[in-house]
Every structure is written in C-alpha cells, then in structure tokens.
Structure 1
Amino acid sequence: MTCISCKTEFNTKFCPNCGEKSEIKKITLKTIFEDAISSITNMDKGFLYNLKTLFLNPKKISTDYILGKRKEILNPISFLILSVSIYLIVEDLLHIPKENTEIHNLPELYIGKIAYAMGKYIHVYLKYFWILSIIPLSISTQLIFRKYNFIEHLAINSFIIAQATIIGIVTFLILRIDLPINPFVYLSILWLVYQVFMTKKDKIETFFMSFAVLVIYILLLIIIGIGIGLIMV
C-alpha cells in the first residue's frame, strides 16, 4: 500500500513515515465532527497534548518542535489562536461589558485620555494584540537567550503565550481579571520561559535571565500601548 500523504510503501494500519491512516474514510458530517473532536480531546496529539506537555515539560515540546518532531504537536500559532479564542468565548459568555465612553468626554488631562484610548483599543482588539504580543516576547527572549533564531523564538513564544492564556482563562473564571493585566499570566510566562531555556548547570542564572525577559517584555508592551494611545487620541 502507498501512503496518500508521503508516498511511502507500507503494510500496517498507519504509515510509519507520517502516521497517515491506511483506511480512507469517505468524508461525511460524522467523520468531520469526529476528527474535530479527536484533534481537541486526544491527549497524545493536538491541543490537549500541547496543554499537558507544556504543564509537565515545556522544554520538551519546544525543543521537539524546533528539531522537527512535530507529529503529536499542534502548530504553535494554531494553539495560540485557539487559546485566545477560548478566552474570548469565555469572556463573552460571562457578558463582560465593554466601555462606550468617548475619549473626548473624558477629563481634559491628556495622559488620562492616552491611558483610556490604550485600554479601550486593547480591550476591543484583544485577540490581535495578544497574538501579536509574541513579537515583543520573542525580541526579549532573543536579546537574553541567543540560542535560537528569531523565527524559532516566535514558535517557542507562541507555545508560551498560548499556555499562559489558558492559565489566564482559569484565573479569569475565578478572579475576573482581564488577560492583559492578569498577574498570573505574567508569572506563567516567567515560569515557562525559565523552564524552556533552563540549563542544569545555571538554574539561578537562567531564572534571573528569565526575569529580565519578563521585564523587557512588559516594558515593550507598555511602549506599544502608549503608542496606540497616542495614535487613538
């Protein structure tokens, strides 16, 4: 039998090269639904695999992905988008109100208008802001940890931001703290950066370097936020 995905010859239930099934099912609503559920609930592959591994061994999943061992791993960008989408769904289900106050109705203090414009823009366009926050985080990790190239840092930090978002969802349900200002999210980012870049010989040094990454990342987010506020005022 020839694999329809990679053209490898095999006689087993799954292709030994890419894992494609030998049995080709006709596409129906049932098969589409089953595949969708399986991709989310399978602990050995996909979303829950990412979630589990990032909790238990963040370094493994990031290293495996960079080395090309990606069979079980949900693409980091897809993982990030899915995590942020879940947060937005949860926020919507809980009917968190959005501010409608116009900027020109605020007090005349200019800095107050900038802060309000920044907060309003981030809240309205949270999905894009949070997904794109992998860029300042990647700038931060590459400045401090020079082990990988920038694209690899983007992949690693997509995993990190996605996992921190999941933690943000849990704490949001309990404490009602918005994602961009949730301290547990940033503590999660610190812990994940430390775990991913940790070396056995320099654990203390890696912790302080990870803390430096977090500080730079937050400063970059603040600068970006102020820039948005200045544009929106």
Structure 2
Amino acid sequence: MTTCKNCKIAINSNFCPNCGHPAVLKRIDAHYIAHEIEHVLHFERGILYTIRELITTPGKNVRHYISENRSRLVKPIIFIIVTSLIYSILSHFFHIEDKYISYYESQHSTTSKMFLWIQGHYGYANIIIGIFIALWTKLFFKKYGFNLFEIIILLCFVLGMSMLIYALFALVEGIAHQSVMTYASILALLYGVWSVGQFFDPTKLSNYLKAFFAYMLGFITFMLSVFAIGSGIDFIFH
C-alpha cells in the first residue's frame, strides 16, 4: 500500500480512487513528449480540428463551446498562446514587424519602450488588445447576457485565428518577398467582425457593425492606455 502524492490518502491500486492520480508516475521520456504533442495536435478535439471548425462557422462553434460542450475544441487560452507563438516565430525569423510597425520617439521614454515592446512582440500584445476589445464587445452586446469572461473566451479563439492569418501571410511574404501583411490585417479584421457577429446573432447586420466598432475602439483605447501609462510613469519618476 502506498500514499497518493496528490491527495495523500492510502491506495492499493495503480490509480487513486479519490482523484485518479497514478500511484507511480512514469519517467518523462521520448514517448511522453510524443504523447503530449499528439494530445495537442491530434485531429479530434485538437488544434487542427479546432482550426477547421473556426474556419467554417466560428461564432456557432464558440457559442456551442461556451454553452454546451467544452471538450470539442482546444482550450482557448492554449489556442491563442500557441497561435501567437507561431506568428511570433515567423515574424522574428522573417523580420516582418520591422517593416510595418514603427514608433519613433525618445528611446529613453517609458512610452517609447512600451511601444517598442509592442512592435517586437505583436503576437503577445494582441492578447492584451483582446481584453480591450472584449470590454467594448460586452458593452455593445450586453443584452445577450454573456459575461465578460465568456466574451474573452470568444476572443481567444477569434484572435488566435487572426494570428494564424498573420502567420500565413508572414510566411508568404518571407518566401515570396512581396508585401502582403496589409492584406492580412484586413482579412483578420473581417474574420473577427464576421465571427463576433455570428456568435451573437448571424441574422442581424447591426451585430456585424457593432463588432467592427468594438474592434476599432478596442485597438484605439489600447493604444491610448499605453500612451497614458507611459506618460504617467515618465511624469512621476522623471
């Protein structure tokens, strides 16, 4: 008889009857790593399956995920982190962001440093921007009864797909040496507006207009917040 390492009760089987924790953990080896990668990428309820579902009917599938079945799609936080990582790797490899995002000011100001971080890490900054978009989305669609956290989950999926759009166009630009990232921005915006509008009610044109303004105002308020925080820090400490 041994003791469960997780909940500390005595067990005499291979798994704890209380929490399901294995009595003896297997060592981490190549098989374990391969299994973990397969768990993330496998088609059923994996990233590939999630991407397929989010291409066809994103709003419907995310709404189903939130309201009915949370096992069909990849966890939204994992999804946006992985897709942002994919974009960041491609962007840094091909030096994509250096061509499109620039901020010139005193290199010693906090505001400048914050914008330069955004310039170099747009994939991760996009996650923060999503919170601002979520706030405006909550305001515009409050009659539908979804709380802020549910809307953030929606945007994790939507912005994750946007990162894949950026990643695809970054790959094309890096290989073909053609400036196409502007088209990626337009396509990502259209996808986001379409997805959010479809999530709430695909039959109402006004929902797509609200989604568009939520996106625009989210981005604007994010940039203003960065400027205000940076300027405030500089004012206090300099």
Cα-to-partner distance string for 1:42-85 (whole Å, 9 max, x where unaligned)? 22212112211111111233123212512232111111111111
CA distance 1:61–1:88, change in 2 (3 Å): same
2:97–2:119 Cα contact (<8 Å) kept: no
1:167–1:185 Cα contact (<8 Å) kept: yes
TM-score by length of 2: 0.70
The CA deviation at 1:144 is 1.0
The CA deviation at 1:122 is 1.0
Instruction: Tell me the amino acid that sits aligned with residue 197 of structure 2.
Output: Y
Q: Which moved more, 1:95-104 or 1:79-88?
A: 95-104
1:168–1:185 Cα contact (<8 Å) kept: yes
Instruction: Tell me the amino acid that sits aligned with residue 223 of structure 2.
Output: I
What does 1:1-233 align with in structure 2 at a 5 Å threshold? 29-96=29-96, 103-104=105-106, 119-146=115-142, 147=144, 148-175=146-173, 182-200=185-203, 202=204, 204-227=205-228, 230=231
The CA deviation at 1:26 is 5.0
Over aligned residues, Cα RMSD in angstroms? 3.8
The CA deviation at 1:167 is 0.8
Q: Find the aligned partners of 2:40 and 2:52 in 1 and give their Cα distance.
A: 12
Instruction: Tell me the amino acid that sits aligned with residue 196 of structure 1.
Output: F
TM-score by length of 1: 0.72
For structure 2, the 5+ residue unaligned runs are 1-12, 174-178
Q: Find the aligned partners of 2:163 and 2:56 in 1 and give their Cα distance.
A: 16
For 2:4, the equivalent position in structure 1 comes to none
Instruction: Tell me the amino acid that sits aligned with residue 126 of structure 1.
Output: Y
Instruction: Tell me the amino acid that sits aligned with residue 77 of structure 1.
Output: I
1:118–1:225 Cα contact (<8 Å) kept: yes
CA distance 1:119–1:206, change in 2 (3 Å): same
Q: Which moved more, 1:131-140 or 1:94-103?
A: 94-103
Instruction: Tell me the amino acid that sits aligned with residue 136 of structure 1.
Output: F
2:97–2:120 Cα contact (<8 Å) kept: no
The CA deviation at 1:221 is 2.7
Q: Which moved more, 1:149-158 or 1:114-123?
A: 114-123
Q: Find the aligned partners of 2:107 and 2:153 in 1 and give their Cα distance.
A: 42
1:103–1:117 Cα contact (<8 Å) kept: no
CA distance 1:68–1:100, change in 2 (3 Å): closer
Number of corresponding residues:
209
CA distance 1:37–1:105, change in 2 (3 Å): closer
Q: Find the aligned partners of 1:5 and 1:220 in 2 and give their Cα distance.
A: 50
The CA deviation at 1:4 is 5.6
SS of 2:106's partner is helix
